[in-house]
Structure 1
Amino acid sequence: MEVGFWAIVPPLLTIVLAIITKEVLLSLFIGVYTGCLIIVGWNPLAGMEKMVEIIIAKLTDPWNMQVLIIVVLLGGLIGLLTRSGGSTAFGDLLGRKIKTKKGAQGTTWLIGLIIFFDDYFNALTNGAIMRPISDKFGVSREKLSYIIDSTAVGICLVVPLSSWVAFICSLIADSYATAGVEEDSFHAFLMCIPFNYYAWLSIIMVIVVVYLGLDFGPMAKAEKRTMETGALCDKTFSGGGADDDDFSSIEQKNGGAIDLLAPILLLIICALTFMLYTGGFFESFSVLDAVNNMDGMLALTYAVSISVIFSIIFYSVRRLSKVSESIAAFVIGTKSMLFVVILLAFAWGIGGVGDELDTAGYVASLFIGNVPPFLIALIIFAFSCVMTFSTGATWGTYAIMIPLAVPLALAMDISVYACVAAVIGGGGFGNHCSPLADTAILSSAAANIRHTDHIKTQIPYSVTCALVACVGFLISGFMDNWVIPMVVVLALFLASVFTLNKIFGANRYQIDREQQDENIA
């Protein structure tokens, strides 16, 4: 459906409203409904029917259904972990090992790197483990959600064993086949990793701002608020003013650290095992084939289900929780994910509207033209950033841009690896910054922070990484080499962060204590 400029109105309207009103759900509803009105020719009733049709279609999509099942089951598992007292016990254990606020943040970053195989699982699991600990050391929820989001997405973009890799490799393989190029798609992905300047910077940024104390912009203000007033956030994920959640009433105090570690370790082991299983590893014994063919969502569904069942039995055997009490805790945990499910449904809905209006195709058409070869990688990165930010659909951007980037790079005799990495990194930027991105939503929920507050505080950091990455892609346009561009990028990145901290650091902001007290109340 070709509607020209109207194709970008729904996502832009949603983003603008979310920023202005700070009500993401209402903004998504208006954006989806406006898109449906455009599709049906501005008939109000037909628009409502179309909206219901699109959302139902998205909710019943097999992939999305698996995502929802995983989110709900993980919520239930968090309820079980809390009921056992394992979360508090593990927090106390780490609390004895972690002595500083920086240590708490660094541990969150490290856990995010370890859970590298899926961004959804990474965000929710890391939040469940580290939120009590980061709260203890006075880390603002904005900072926690930023660390979770940056590592969850960033690590999936550079580690060649994740739910993302199979999808990206399939697109590379199809693009190569169409262009008549004979190269293993997994090898091509490996060659793209050093060129993914944005992903590396997003991971490095966390360590730089944490251990060098170089926060700037709204994040610096949030950290100053927490330090001066003790308020971990202005609003929680569901919009409430209190920092507490629904789990405080079900927790008992007899659990140990093993009651958290055993289910989590089982979850990680099962996830990796079932990823190999769904990829056919136990038939071919080829890790490369398994990575290319695995079904990450199905593997995670199996893993979480087994961990939930194990936890109920494990806690009953340890006399921490009767089966009936565990089931009640599981239900409370699933309820905590209701708002996440609703947000995901409407975020997918805006994506469905974009599919029908061909929003991504229209955005891509704006960038097609005659440009010098050395600018191609930079332009591809910029287009991928804009496309993902406006739609929230990282994989949708990959599906459109990788088949365009590969033949374009081959035709203009420039680095295919740099161009594909530009697409991958651009999708990561949009996933970090777009209010419509599902991983950003889950990171907000994991930290229990209002979604708009997460986006507002993270954008300056992500934009800094993206602008510096642009320099890297520009230099890559002159050479098929990543070493020199990376050295320049890292030097420019450090200089930029120090300068931004100097200009927009915490000293620039004043905390309104009276307003803060009202928000908390």
Structure 2
Amino acid sequence: MFVSEWMTILPPLLAVIVVLWKKEVILALLVAIFCSELLLILSSQGLQPALTEFSIASVERVIGVFGSPDNTRILTFSMLVGALLGFMRYSGGVTATVEFLIKKGISGTARRARMLPFLTGITIFIESNLSVLMSGIISRGLFDKFNMSRARLAYIIDSTSAPICILILMNGWGAYVLGLVSSYELEQSAVSTLIQTIPLNFYALITIAIVLYTIIADKTHGPMKEAEANPKKALETTDIEIEASKPRFMLIPLFTMSVSMVGFMFWTGNGSFTDGSGSRSVLYATALAALVAYVMMIISGRFTHKKMTEISFKGMNELLPLVVIVLFSLALGASLKELGTGKFIAGIVAGNIPLFLIPALIFVAGGLMSFSTGTSWGTFALLIPIGMPLVIELGLPAPLILSAILGGGIFGDHCSPISDTTAVSAVASGCDLLEHVKTQLPYALTAGGLTVVFYIVAGLVM
């Protein structure tokens, strides 16, 4: 049976409809996976085999996620983070750190408390999920203390981490994009092209500017204003309730994680930071940090091995929904790639259009693809092979086109309810996932709209 190209957008479209209708992300991902696998079988075998095989194919697609070592490391890392969060929380280290910061005046005001996760996100530019987790862990208690909503915290850490990672580029993000671009013969080297995208990545720059505005001016708009007016729901489960011990029970494991992450990047890259494996490094760093936290708590004499085991499983259990979302997101991304959803969307944009509009339309295409698939990295992998040949064939400025691809991927990621980064931000801040999406969306759309205007102007000038 012939499956037309337009039908390839049905799976992500169904996912969005189910999320808006049932408010259930895991169900939406499952429906999208089943739909995508059904279309794949219809296109190759016909109707009768499809009705009997697409369920089995969907299960195999999910199992196939574990066939990639990187995917397995991401899922294992997500579970280990739960244990690490549990160790730091039940040790009293999180509460003690919050009290210390307030006592020393570092975060003695609401504005300073809002600035802390922003500055943490800028400092920890090595890996976006690590940045989000550290910012969220450090700031959750402070936001509760000053009666600010967890939704606001989720917005600050989510809208700081990925833009910073894609601007600084001395991390796994830069290495990944460099690998994708290096295979094309551009006028300048891939490294030079990548560096030149920094001032042209309008979405990342505008997003960071908007985050700073909300922090300094203390202004909230739309659904975020409603969340700020009634933050009681987020305050029901607060880290402040646990008795304070010493800040070192939180700070030493976090320091271990951030420093060892750099070391593991050099180690996995055989001495080269940019050649290092982000998935391996973040897993090893998290495992080491969890081990350090475990040893510290055992040595303190307040915890037994049995109690530590209970705490670790409690922490993992709290993150289990996130792990399932990440698992299904990876499976859906693989299925959509085989189905050709991304290529179809990109093909629509890259049709017969004026040259000066191409950067803006590629940005929009990247946003749609990232929103539909929930992965900015997957969007990079799909759009760079389309954008770079356009650069070569049409003589377009490579840094401008590449920056539009990178910015579009992050834009869609910020808007998508099925993004793993969105899910990690919600978990790290203790905010409901759909509340985070709803409150962040107006800010992301504003930044996205301004970015389109900037790319049209840049297209005319360049």
Q: Which residue of 1 aligns with 2:237?
A: 244
Contact map agreement 1:414 1:477 (CA 8 A) in 2: no
The CA deviation at 1:182 is 5.9
Contact map agreement 1:275 1:294 (CA 8 A) in 2: yes
Contact map agreement 1:2 1:357 (CA 8 A) in 2: no
Query: What SS does the aligned partner of 1:383 have?
Result: helix
Contact map agreement 2:125 2:171 (CA 8 A) in 1: yes
Matches of 1:258 and 1:446, distance apart in 2: 20
The CA deviation at 1:49 is 0.6
The reply on whether 1:354 has 2:355 as its aligned counterpart is no
Counterpart pick for 1:447 among 429, 444, 459: 429
Matching residue's letter, 2:7: W
The CA deviation at 1:101 is 2.2
Deviations 1:435-463 (A, max 9, x none): 12110111111122221111111111001
Q: Which residue of 2 aligns with 1:332?
A: 314
Q: Is the alpha carbon distance of 1:319 and 1:183 closer, same or farther for their aligned partners in structure 2, counting shifts above 3 Å?
A: farther
Q: Is the alpha carbon distance of 1:409 and 1:356 closer, same or farther for their aligned partners in structure 2, counting shifts above 3 Å?
A: closer
Q: TM-score, normalised by structure 2?
A: 0.93
Matches of 1:352 and 1:373, distance apart in 2: 32
**Counterparts of residues 250-399 of structure 1 (less than 5 Å):** 251=242, 253=243, 255-281=245-271, 290-399=272-381
The CA deviation at 1:2 is 5.6
Q: Which residue of 2 aligns with 1:486?
A: none
Matches of 1:148 and 1:347, distance apart in 2: 21
Query: What SS does the aligned partner of 2:245 have?
Result: coil
**Counterparts of residues 109-508 of structure 1 (less than 5 Å):** 109-176=118-185, 181=186, 183-226=188-231, 230-232=232-234, 243-244=236-237, 251=242, 253=243, 255-281=245-271, 290-480=272-462
Contact map agreement 1:105 1:139 (CA 8 A) in 2: no
Q: Is the alpha carbon distance of 1:423 and 1:124 closer, same or farther for their aligned partners in structure 2, counting shifts above 3 Å?
A: same
The CA deviation at 1:296 is 1.0
Q: Which residue of 2 aligns with 1:515?
A: none
Q: Which residue of 1 aligns with 2:21?
A: 20
Identity of aligned residues (%): 28
Q: Is the alpha carbon distance of 1:408 and 1:344 closer, same or farther for their aligned partners in structure 2, counting shifts above 3 Å?
A: same
The CA deviation at 1:48 is 1.3
Deviations 1:401-420 (A, max 9, x none): 11222231233333210110
Q: Which residue of 1 aligns with 2:77?
A: 70
The CA deviation at 1:16 is 1.8
The CA deviation at 1:248 is 8.9
Matching residue's letter, 1:210: I
Matches of 1:352 and 1:414, distance apart in 2: 30
| Residues paired across the two proteins, number | 453
Matching residue's letter, 2:12: P
The CA RMSD measured in Å over matched residues stands at 1.9
Matches of 1:390 and 1:304, distance apart in 2: 30
Q: Is the alpha carbon distance of 1:175 and 1:27 closer, same or farther for their aligned partners in structure 2, counting shifts above 3 Å?
A: same
The reply on whether 1:55 has 2:48 as its aligned counterpart is no
Contact map agreement 1:153 1:431 (CA 8 A) in 2: no
The CA deviation at 1:372 is 2.1
Matches of 1:125 and 1:309, distance apart in 2: 17
Deviations 1:32-73 (A, max 9, x none): 222222233364442211110111111342111110111111
Query: What SS does the aligned partner of 1:116 have?
Result: coil
Q: Is the alpha carbon distance of 1:273 and 1:166 closer, same or farther for their aligned partners in structure 2, counting shifts above 3 Å?
A: same
Contact map agreement 1:139 1:232 (CA 8 A) in 2: no
Structure 1 stretch displaced more, 371-380 or 322-331:
322-331
Q: Which residue of 2 aligns with 1:35?
A: 36
Deviations 1:104-129 (A, max 9, x none): 11111111111111111122222222
Q: Is the alpha carbon distance of 1:95 and 1:3 closer, same or farther for their aligned partners in structure 2, counting shifts above 3 Å?
A: farther
Matches of 1:143 and 1:254, distance apart in 2: 25
Q: Which residue of 2 aligns with 1:494?
A: none
Matching residue's letter, 1:175: Y
Deviations 1:94-149 (A, max 9, x none): 22222222221111111111111111112222222211221111111211111111
Q: Which residue of 2 aligns with 1:106?
A: 115
Matches of 2:439 and 2:290, distance apart in 1: 34
Matches of 2:178 and 2:258, distance apart in 1: 23
The CA deviation at 1:76 is 0.6
Structure 1 stretch displaced more, 92-101 or 440-449:
92-101
The CA deviation at 1:21 is 2.1
Deviations 1:75-99 (A, max 9, x none): 1111111121111100111222222
Matching residue's letter, 1:26: L
Q: TM-score, normalised by structure 1?
A: 0.83
Matches of 1:418 and 1:368, distance apart in 2: 15
Contact map agreement 1:2 1:358 (CA 8 A) in 2: no
Matches of 2:35 and 2:133, distance apart in 1: 31
Structure 1 stretch displaced more, 320-329 or 434-443:
320-329
Matches of 1:254 and 1:459, distance apart in 2: 36
Unaligned runs of 5+ in 1: 234-242, 282-289, 481-521
Query: What SS does the aligned partner of 1:327 have?
Result: helix
Query: What SS does the aligned partner of 1:214 have?
Result: coil
Matching residue's letter, 2:40: I
Matching residue's letter, 2:424: L
Q: Is the alpha carbon distance of 1:355 and 1:406 closer, same or farther for their aligned partners in structure 2, counting shifts above 3 Å?
A: closer
